[in-house]
Amino acid sequence: MAKHCAARQTFNLIAMRAIRFALFLCLLPTTIIAQSAPAAGAQRAARTELAARLQQLEGLLASATKADQRSKLQAEQTAIRARLENGDFKVGDRFVMTVRFDSVRVDTASVRDSLVVSILNLPDLRLQGVLRSELDEKLNQHVARFIRNASIRSNVLTRIAVLGAVRAPGFYYASPDRPVSDILMLAGGPAPEANLGRFELRRGTTTLVTGKKSRELLESGRTLEQLDVQSGDEFRIPMKRKVNWGLVIQLFFIASSLFFAVFQFMQWYYGREE
């Protein structure tokens, strides 16, 4: 008799723990992982600044002990070396030029194959190995060979994809000093079902910003450059999740019925042996 009572108490204890675990799963919040944004101005860093950062990374690597920390430092090191060697420009990049000589002209140049651009109907200029911070100097040196007393200022545009719950998804060019909210308006604005508080910023297969961090970025007015958004990155705006309450209720009653059926069977089984 005592043996059966102990077995029943054990069963009741297991049942209570199962109920608590189910409630815990229902109330478990979603874990959000967001990476912190890099400092503003990294895209316009001078060659000397990048070289100094390389030296700093070498010191950090020497003292780093964790594998994940070393991999991040090595990835940044590789990216900086590639910038110093190949420059910042890729085929398809665009920049706006303000040209002053006898008048003021505003024009847009596109980087073509072999990383060349056409400026004011002058011979092509090659941008292989040129950083963003060096573009104005390079342009002025090139134009000075053909036109006297001319000056050029440039603004490199960022080519980004705006996808998901927007009215006109696609690729757009935007100035790096524009806030994230303006980028959504370039794509016609968010769709009615858009969940702006959960948009994602992706670079290839890597998610740079997601979850609560995205809402903070919208509210703080952070710009593309402050987020280190690069050409080819993607903004994905998800749709609001709609809960199928009918299906949820059906699954709840099915699970409840199964649970209480097992519970009643165990009670009958132990009661029969008493």
**Helix%, strand%, coil% for the chain, nearest 5:** 45, 20, 35
Give residue 60's pLDDT: 92
User: pLDDT by residue for the chain (274 residues), tens digit each?
Assistant: 444 455 455 545 554 554 454 444 443 333 333 333 344 458 889 999 999 999 999 999 999 888 989 999 999 999 999 999 999 999 999 999 999 988 888 999 999 999 999 988 899 999 999 999 999 999 999 999 998 888 999 999 999 999 998 899 999 999 999 998 888 888 998 888 888 778 889 988 888 888 778 778 878 888 898 888 888 899 988 887 665 566 667 777 687 777 777 777 677 666 665 5
- Number of neighbouring beta carbons within 10 Å of residue 160: 22
Give residue 21's pLDDT: 45
Q: Token digits for 272? A: 């029969």
Give residue 73's pLDDT: 92
Pairing type for strands 234-237 and 158-164 reads parallel
Q: How many CA atoms lie within 13 A of 259 on its CB side?
A: 14
Q: Distance between CA atoms of 246 and 223, rounded to whole angstroms?
A: 42
Cα dihedral across residues 182, 187, 189, 191: positive or negative: negative
Span between the terminal Cα atoms of the chain, in Å: 7
Amino acid identity, position 100: R
Q: Token digits for 203? A: 């670079």
DSSP code per residue over 208-273: EE-THHHHHHHHHT-BTTTTT--TT-EEEEPBPP---HHHHHHHHHHHHHHHHHHHHHHHHHHHHH
Give residue 32's pLDDT: 32
Q: Distance between CA atoms of 77 and 225, rounded to whole angstroms?
A: 20
2 burial level (CB within 10 Å; 0-12, 13-18, 19+): exposed
Q: How many CA atoms lie within 13 A of 269 on its CB side?
A: 9
Give residue 103's pLDDT: 84
Give residue 9's pLDDT: 54
